[in-house]
Amino acid sequence: MKTRTMRREIFAGSAAVAVLLLTAGCGSGGNSAAKQDSVKPVGDSKQLDLYGSGYGSGSGDAPAGGGAKSGPAGQLKAQEVAGVGSAVTDGEGFTLYRFDKDTAKPPKSNCEGDCAQAWPVVLADDAQAGAGVDAAMLGSVTRADGTKQLTLGGWPVYRYAKDTKAGDALGEGVGGTWHAVGPDGKPAAAAKAAGAGTGSGSGSGSGMASGMGMGMNMGAGANSPADGKKVSLSVRQNAQLGGILQNSEGWTLYRFDKDSAWPMKFGCLDACLDTWKPAKPVDKTEVSGIPSELVGSVKRPDGSEQLTIDCWPVYTFTGDKQPGDVNGQGKQGLWFAVTDKGKKAKAAG
């Protein structure tokens, strides 16, 4: 009897450990998305640096060639940048960025060393306010090496080394902390989203995806639930794909077959993140149309948190040009919109 009791206790203990591991691996409980431990990239034991740049410590220099470099600002102007909105560009047309880990009051840069190789600073020398830029918003901050860096609305300003030509905005959303900067010093994409939210669209329009005709939004919009509750994650009905997930701004969410749900691993790293942006975690009380137990989060190798659905990391696609687009569906045979059941979406028929 004593032996049988011990076996039952060992079995119960093992089961508890298994449940604990599953919970830790996929996340559950609480109102906010569960936080996970860091996950190593698929086939790579080295984690990315904090800045989401791919040029972190030990991983080499920024790419050679015609990429953006540190230098004077020239004449600044605000102009429409594809996928971002109205952003400030330098005298050569390169998109300028801000870093969420910096501060504006007082101005302070927290991007040094390898970070500054990936994100070259914009020098305050000869900066001039051009079209759409208020000269009163311009300033400077003295860096640790004594150089004066341009600030916009108090925020230190940078270029991105992977932007190789005027109009590129590959740095938008990198690591969840880098953003193209608007004329007011705020993230340009946030201003664009706020403007879209005050427009006439309620999310019930056609929302046809450019070039595909698949983005029909047939349900209530993400920002206009009937009960007035804030919704950060919701379901949109698509004519070909059925119920698929969208974020609070109406952008389609995708999963990647080279990621792994259990154990969680990332297949989308470095240059992949220029095209596929990790979705931000949401509060489970702000979910509509999908079981909240499917919603979680995972910590990426750069330390940022990413939304997971049924344990799969999910992303938005820079090739989607307007809310409701599903241009990422089936890309490379590896990327798929996420259904309201947490599965890969497949076209009807």
* Neighbouring-strand partners of residue 129: 76
How confident is residue 191, by pLDDT bands cut at 50, 70 and 90? low
pTM over 0.75: no
Decide if 4 is inside a domain: no
Residue 126 and residue 147 share a domain: yes
Shared-domain flag, residues 235 and 321 = yes
Residue 63 placed within a domain: no
Residue 292 and residue 319 in one domain: yes
Residues 181 and 209 in one domain: no
pLDDT for residue 149 is more than 90: yes
66 alpha-carbon distance from chain centroid: 26
Domain span at 296: 202-337
Q: Is residue 1 part of a domain?
A: no
Q: Is 34 part of a structural domain of the chain?
A: no
Q: Decide which of 134, 168, 192 is a domain's last residue.
A: 192
In a domain, 8, yes or no: no
Is residue 165 located within the same domain as residue 273?
A: no
What would the mean pLDDT of 129-144 be, rounded to a whole number?
94
What is the tens place of the pLDDT at every residue in 254-273?
999 999 887 778 999 998 99
- Same domain, residue pair 320 and 258: yes
- Whether 323 and 209 map to the same domain: the answer is yes
Q: Show the tokens assigned to 145.
A: 């090496």
Q: Where are the alpha helices (DSSP H) in the chain?
A: 2-26, 114-118, 188-197, 272-275
Between the two ends of the chain, the Cα-to-Cα distance in Å is 60
Please tell me whether residues 160 and 206 are part of one structural domain: no
- Count: domains in the chain: 2
Q: How far is CA 17 from CA 13, 22, 34, in A?
A: 6, 9, 18
Query: 124, 157, 192: which is the final residue of a domain?
Result: 192
Name the domain boundary from 168, 192, 216: 192
The confidence score (pLDDT) of residue 203 equals: 37
